Amino acid sequence: MPRLRSMADAALCDLSAVAALELFAKRALSPVEMTQAVLARAEASQEGINAFAHLAPETALYMARASEDRYGGKGDAPRALEGICVALKDTGNLAGWPTSYGSLTSDRKPRQTTSPENDTMLRAGAALIGTTRTPEFSGALFTHSRAGGVTRNPHNRNLTPGGSSGGAAASLAIGAATLAVGSDIGGSIRVPASCCGVVGYKPPKGRNPVTPPFNLDYFCHTGPLARSLADTVLMQNAMCGPHPGDVTTLHPRLELSAKVKPLTGLRIATSLDLGFFEIDADVARNTRAALEIFKSCGATVTEIALPWDVSVIDAGKTHLAHIFSSWMAEASEGQSDLICPYTATWIEQGKAGSAQGFYNALCTAGQMGQDFAAAMAGFDVFICPTTALPAVDAIFDHSQDRLRINGKPVDPVLGWALTVPFNMLSSHPVLSVPSGIARNGCPTGIQIVAKPFRDQDAFDAALAYEAELGGFGQIIPKPDWHAEQNQAAAGNDLHTSK
């Protein structure tokens, strides 16, 4: 197979999945060559960024060689993601691999089965680069743990890449993966996407398969992270649809289009703060600038008021504490000396909860859905910031540290993420796309929220926005991931006590 020897490794690492597939099909580029470049980037960036829990060079190259054979006419025809480098989150299982969940309490035994969300990627022909860092048991919107150390934001290593899919988003930002799988129970896809300047998608509940028993929790979703919307559509189309490992997946399978359509007549509702969040000035500025782009595309933008308050955050935390605490407590039984402080806090909050509290949280979510439906009458999509500030510190711990925005104290767990309301409204598709750069060099993002199960509406709005920008690279510079930065001097070992 001829090689594009003139294409530098850096260009291969930044190549989109859509473009790579075209080159593979023309036999102008080998999946092996691209995988070698991406693997080299992943290995070289580990010391500074720490995006991966496990790297899989032998597995990745074996898969890439098999893909090369398919493109060469040997064996079966190429599949939807044939030869594309994918990173899988270290919370889903892979048969024959350990799953650490970012915890010292994990037994590290090879798993017997592959989680449904990972199975979709492998069946689509993707080459596994490795598994990505998460906070312990996905229990935070930052990414550090005693087991995995600190994962850092490639745009500013003092800051977090977000969580819990922080390693996934960071790997994309630095070109150490082409696509990445995330999961989102309170913003864990969208927050890292915003912090790292990439795209993240929380599909409506049931669209993508989720590993039991969390497939039964309506807060919990799996979805794609990518560097462009065309790649996000490609990956989402591979992930979605009925799966035998998840009886809650929806019939029929939805096929999204990446065609850019005019937005003339699109009616956008917006709220900068959802009625109660404190919003950083850079986030507000970039959100308003993004809304102006939508106006220039022919959409109308109307600010609306939502009757929500901090009880939304309280209800979200109550729900998450009930779901998380039992799992965390079971997984770490007899090993409480090994868990992170934020894990211990979740466990204690769950123990202190009640059935009445859980019911009350459901009532709050139900009322929120009615409120949002009423507010959205006469509109097509809703736009708001993804996060209330660009990112928290890399070693921030919501169980120990206080958080202020504009000098005002906010809830340290969820008070900086405008994402959890849309886990509570789980039937709404939500995209997080970049909106710009803050003064500290960290990206910011906006959420594009469609009406229940109207996935294409969210993508149509986002695709036109991306096209008008000329691509997200026009507002999000490439991070200098390999530079010797002063802020990296602390390293990635988690040894700080506060």
Q: Which domains does the chain have, with CATH numbers?
A: 9-477 (3.90.1300.10)
For 385, the 3-state DSSP assignment is strand
Q: How far apart are CA 346 and CA 302, in angstroms?
A: 38
What is the CB neighbour count within 10 angstroms for residue 281?
Answer: 12
Looking at residue 484, its pLDDT comes to: 59
> From the CB of residue 96, how many other CB atoms can be counted at a distance below 10 Å?
11
pLDDT recorded at residue 114: 97
Rounded Cα–Cα distance for residues 220 and 189 (Å): 11
H or E element: which one contains 343? Answer: helix 341-352
Amino acid identity of 461? A
Q: Of all helices (H) and strands (E), which one includes residue 324?
A: helix 311-331
Instruction: Please give the pLDDT value at position 7.
Output: 65
CB atoms near residue 70 (< 10 Å): 18
Distances (CA, A) of 265 to 252, 300, 377: 29, 7, 15
pLDDT under 70 in the chain at which residues? 1-7, 483-490, 494-498
Backbone angles phi, psi at 312, to 5 degrees: -60, -50
CA distances (Å), origin 379, targets 153, 382, 383, 419: 35, 8, 11, 20
Position 254, amino acid: L
Q: State the Cα–Cα distance between residues 199 and 228, nearest whole angstrom.
A: 6
At residue 193, the pLDDT reads: 99
pLDDT of residue 351: 93
d(CA 41, CA 30): 17
- What is the model's pTM? 0.96
Q: How far apart are CA 172 and CA 159, in angstroms?
A: 17
Instruction: Kindly report each contact of residues 250-256 with a partner whose C-beta sits within 8 Å and lies 24 or more positions away, as own/partner.
Output: 250/206, 250/207, 254/207, 254/455, 256/455, 256/456, 256/459
